[in-house]
Amino acid sequence: MSMSVSLKKATNKTNIKHNNRTMNDKDKERNSHIDESRSHENVYLVQKNLKEVYQEEFGEALENYNAKQKRNDRKIDNYYEHIQSSKKTSLQQELIIQVGDKEDFSSKADFDKANEILKEWYSDFEKRNPQLKIYNAVIHNDEASPHMHVNFVPVAEGYKRGLEKQVSFDKAITQQDLTLDKVRPFEHWREKEVQFLEKSLQERGIERKLVGTNDYKDVNEYKEKKDLEREIKQLEGDLSQRKTELKALTEKVSSEISVPVKKQMKSIEVPTGEKNLFGKEKMKTEKRPTGNVVLSEENYKKLVTAANQKEKLTHQIVKVLNTDFAKENKELKAENKVIFKEWKSTIEENSQLKDENNSLKQRVGSLTSEIENLYKHTKEYFKQRTGDFEAFRKVFGGWVNKIQEKLPTSHLKRVHDRSEAKENTFSMENVAELDKQVRSQKSAKRKNMDLER
């Protein structure tokens, strides 16, 4: 007996109501493949609220992030809604797992066996994948063949920008398994999970039937096959293009070049076969071809041009026919690898520079805060030890100017200028308050004058 194994990942097609069979009547009509009389046989393993999972996984990280933000417009009110509105990141991921196809399930015992395999695979899923947080899992037994839907949130950690914990599938699986292929992490991770299913089949005496991408026993074999397919496809495309070019060149090169010419003739004396009175052979003049031709200068130039073009096109055809497409493609691939390596190095260097820049920004912010606090406490110190306000301003201002002379780019001078401007400027609230007091005094004066009268 043999059964196939299928494990697919979906994101945008997730429908939790469909998975949990909480659809309305219209949805049920559209899903006529579901046998509702068997829906009670479905197995619901996990049913959590996705928003609550987000709060549980990212709540603390969100609080820490917002606490560090000095500007309110940089704070994130709700991480769930933040990801929901994102065009780059999906809120969650879904796996659809199946063993066998509809031809393999003719009895309840077949369904039970498949359920047993799926449950066994699922039981250790979170141990193998601690960073994939499951919020919904169900086995459907009311369709043609039993299969499982697993919905989860991939949680990656250690971010320096944004929240410390964020949603990212590739980063989550590569963090939990350092042996995964860095170029194709999902394909490698998927093949490992398929191997767990295959082991469950073998333990029950069932051979794995290879179909589709499962024809390859490991991810490396599958990758090599895909690379080879791409190379063959590229070579076929190149060959087709070259054939088209060859056809076009062949049509340009005609076998004969036609130009109007005249045969060159010359006059020669030939015997007539008769003799004259003196017994000598009589001769006559005839025109005979010399083997050469005569053509105009214009036609001669056309002929030379056509001959040169033919030679050039013939050379191009020979070059096309002698091209080693496989070797050329290999050289291009090697060149592409070098370029990709340089690009990757540039990206890594850029990322490092960004991290250093962020670190410097934080350091500058910290030093700026320290300078402002130093200014504040120094100002208070001078104020307490100077009786007269004008004397205080003169002494303190002189101190600031001396620092600026020694450190022209010092932030202290800018802090001092802002403070002075603030102290020398009446705010709108001050003006309004003074105006209110003047009006009140005038009103009281009028009342007193009225009473005296």
Cα-trace Rg, the chain: 45
Per-residue pLDDT of the chain (453 residues; tens, 9 = 90+): 778 888 988 755 678 899 999 988 888 888 888 888 989 999 999 999 999 999 999 999 999 999 998 888 889 999 999 998 888 888 999 999 998 887 888 788 888 999 999 999 999 999 999 999 999 999 999 988 899 999 999 999 999 889 999 999 999 999 999 999 888 899 999 999 999 999 998 988 888 877 654 444 444 444 555 566 666 777 777 777 776 776 666 665 555 566 677 787 888 887 887 887 777 888 888 888 888 888 788 877 877 887 777 777 777 776 766 666 656 666 777 777 777 777 777 777 777 777 777 777 777 777 777 777 777 777 777 777 766 666 767 777 777 787 777 777 777 777 777 777 766 654 455 556 656 666 777 777 676 776 665
Which pair of structure tokens corresponds to residue 19?
């998975």
Contact in structure between 125 and 176 (CB atoms under 8 Å): no
Report d(CA 84, CA 208) in Å as an integer.
39
CA contacts within 13 A on the Cβ side of 339: 6
Report d(CA 171, CA 166) in Å as an integer.
10
Let me know how many helices (H) and strands (E) the chain has, helices first.
Answer: 14, 9
Pairing of strands 262-275, 207-209: unpaired
Contacts for 11 with CB less than 8 Å, ≥ 6 apart: 90, 92, 93, 94
Report d(CA 288, CA 266) in Å as an integer.
6
Report d(CA 180, CA 129) in Å as an integer.
13
Instruction: Identify which of 309, 329, 333, 313 has the alpha carbon closest to the alpha carbon of residue 321.
Output: 313
Which pair of structure tokens corresponds to residue 405?
């002379």
Instruction: Identify which of 367, 370, 394, 374 has the alpha carbon closest to the alpha carbon of residue 383.
Output: 394
The answer to whether the predicted template modeling score (pTM) of the entire model surpasses 0.75 is no
